[in-house]
Structure 1
Amino acid sequence: MTERRIRIGLQLQPQHADYDAIRRTASAAEDLGADIIFNWDHFYPLYGDPDGKHFECWTMLGAWAESTSRVEIGALVTCNSYRNPELLADMARTVDHISGGRLILGIGSGWFEKDYDEYGYEFGTAGGRLDDLAESLPRIESRLAKLNPAPTRKIPVLIGGGGEKKTLKLVAKHGDIWHGFGDPEVVGRKVKILDQHCADVGRDPAEIERSCGVQGEPDELGPQLLELGVTTFTVGVGGPDYDLGALEKWIAWREKNQS
């Protein structure tokens, strides 16, 4: 496995808060030393008041591209169903330029049925949404290659999800970063399956960065996930009062363990 540096991410959930608080929190996380700041791609809160305050994902990423200067930014993750893949590629290229090459293109197949129903998208089935993602990823890659001006760099594609037959196969084919969830036992199983999918398509698994959402104490959880090849650790925080205490702990752990 290629040696990668430890990176700490924050998923700044755009729910139950005014935008001023979201912007201040993004700046504070950058000042604390976060490596990546993610939002998410939903239209309604995922917990708390289901009709509480909420903001749109990609408009916010464009604003973060201007209001931050060092951190990478991205969605954890964009819902493939909500935007034409060519349009999404153009949006990503534009935010890439606005940010000076700091965008991560996080994408997944989508799952939150209320978003689909309220905004008029066809929910379909989980398998159908994954098939749509499989069709969209090559279209995104093709459009990125045609755009003028081109992206400032090869925009990293992060694919989120743990589906062992379809999602991890898409990661092996198209992903630069895999993002998953779960305890070390679950993550370990997924990593082995991802490695096998890479072997099946003739790809070196070391090319794919492994990322994980984390809860709990970094001194306990961090070494176990590092042993599995995970090098990016992301904590989530929701509004209205964004508490960055867990982020500070993980950044301190990174500083102790960075090779």
Structure 2
Amino acid sequence: MMTTPARIRVAIQIPPSRADYAAIRRAAAQADALGADAIFNWDHFFPLGKDTSGKHFECWTMLGAWAESTSHAAIGALVSCVAYRNPDLLADMARTVDHVSDGRLILGLGAGFREWEAKEYGFEFGSPAQRVQQLGEALHRIERRMTLLNPGPVRKLPILVAADGAKALRLVARYADIWQTFAEDDAFSEKSRLLDSYCDQLQRDPATIERAVFVDGDPWTVGTRLRERGAGMFTLMTRGPDFNLDGLRRWLAWRDEHNAQASRS
């Protein structure tokens, strides 16, 4: 069953790299003022790409600052590697940032993929199967810890899980409110159907999981095609040091047009 969400959201990922923090802060504030639904950074220790020598800042410290410097958009990491922090501590950190932001945090989680980066910081880096198992264990502990914290998060904290493999998709079906994928077009539809089947096994309504995709290009072409396949959140990336937001403006215009049509139907 393919579910097309009634309303769509547009997000932007602002990497915490290749720029001074003042420029990153301005970009986040501008995205917030433009009306982005969510603003994400990422949880790495070095810039992505071939040149890893550029400027780079830590993810969660920055999210705490964004919680104060933005007002409307959801904020979060896309995504936070569960191997880099004790899961119970990570739940506590997320709960705290959720309060600082007045309930705007999305807790994005993943198994990690950069072995050299993990080892550079002294973290163990297991096989793909071991990392997925670690992700499952972390999700369980985070879910439990959220029920024990005083106070708890402002609301039921939305969990985003980045996953594409079958075993990880089972975790999405069990724990996630948002599924983040790198898959496109037919591959996205195939993985989305697989996720639906796992939801059916758990007797969970697949429509309760928002499908999030990375996008680029013309939203009236790319976005419309992916929306017809069930995507609900569309995430662009901008890069430092300039952080051009022209693409975000186009995607927000497309979002507003489609959501207005949906509200009239």
TM-score band (shorter)? over 0.9
Provide, for residues 57-80 of structure 1, a one-character-per-residue CA deviation record: whole Å limited to 9, x for no partner. 000000000000111000000001
2:140 maps to 138
Select the residue among 106, 114, 117 that pairs with 1:112.
Answer: 114
Deviation at 1:127, TM superposition (A): 1.0
Q: Give distance in 2, aligned partners of 1:92 and 1:210.
A: 22
Unaligned runs of 5+ in 1: none
CA contact (8 A) 2:4 2:230 kept: no
CA contact (8 A) 1:14 1:238 kept: no
- Provide the TM-score with structure 2 as the length reference: 0.95
User: Structure 1 segments of 4 or more deviating over 6 A?
Assistant: none
Amino acid at match of 2:148: K
CA contact (8 A) 2:5 2:230 kept: no
Q: Give distance in 2, aligned partners of 1:35 and 1:113.
A: 32
- The Cα RMSD (Å) is 1.1
CA contact (8 A) 2:5 2:232 kept: no
2:77 maps to 75
Q: Give distance in 1, aligned partners of 2:31 and 2:79.
A: 19
Amino acid at match of 1:238: R
**What secondary structure sits across from 1:166 in the alignment?**
helix
CA contact (8 A) 1:181 1:214 kept: no
- Number of corresponding residues: 258
Deviation at 1:246, TM superposition (A): 1.1
Which structure 2 residues correspond to residues 59-70 of structure 1 after superposition, within 5 A?
59-70=61-72
CA contact (8 A) 2:5 2:231 kept: no
Select the residue among 126, 129, 132 that pairs with 1:127.
Answer: 129
Q: Give distance in 2, aligned partners of 1:167 and 1:236.
A: 24
CA contact (8 A) 1:218 1:250 kept: yes
**What secondary structure sits across from 2:83 in the alignment?**
helix
Unaligned runs of 5+ in 2: none
CA contact (8 A) 2:11 2:235 kept: yes
CA contact (8 A) 1:97 1:151 kept: yes
**What secondary structure sits across from 1:230 in the alignment?**
coil
Q: Give distance in 2, aligned partners of 1:143 and 1:159.
A: 18
